[in-house]
Amino acid sequence: MVEQTSPLRIVVIEDSDAHAKILKWAFDGLESKPRVTFFSDGESALANLTNVARSDFVAPDLVMLDLNLPKLGGKQVLRRLKEDPATSGVPVIVISSSSDESDVRTAYELGASTYICKSGLLSELRVSLQGILDYWTRFATLPKRR
């Protein structure tokens, strides 16, 4: 088993203020505290995640992505993240209120690492998030940060 020595860097792209607040609350209550950055739309997230020319650029370890975003939809964000060399290797966890088979299938076809329905996640949020973080910090091997 490989344990991550520094906190995970997680980017959450979520347009719902209520869901973002709930996620912040849940992350704050976890035993292993990740470094979480929130974006409320896909355009601002991509502007930050794909700007490797910035001297302070560090790719996140994980991206948690809502599919139903304003301006630029989550599927388009996922496609661009997977096409960009700076972010193509970053695991993307899609978190959506949709359990529609076509959304699930499309997300995986576009390169999502995991698809989670919000209803299942929000019912036991801290336990769910801790399980996700445990998987990505204790069992999965992530590439070294650039």
Domains of the chain: total: 1
Tell whether 4 is covered by a domain. Answer: no
- Domain range holding 31? 9-138
Q: What is the pLDDT of residues 95-121, one digit of tens each?
A: 988 889 999 999 999 999 999 888 766
> What's the rounded Cα separation, in Å, for the pair 37 and 18?
16
The pTM of the full predicted model, rounded to 2 decimals, is 0.87
Six token digits for residue 131: 């399980």
Q: What is the CATH number of the domain that holds 121?
A: 3.40.50.2300
Q: 26 vs 81, which has greater pLDDT?
A: 81
Burial of 145 (0-12, 13-18, 19+ CB in 10 A): exposed
Tell whether 122 is covered by a domain. Answer: yes
Tell whether 78 is covered by a domain. Answer: yes
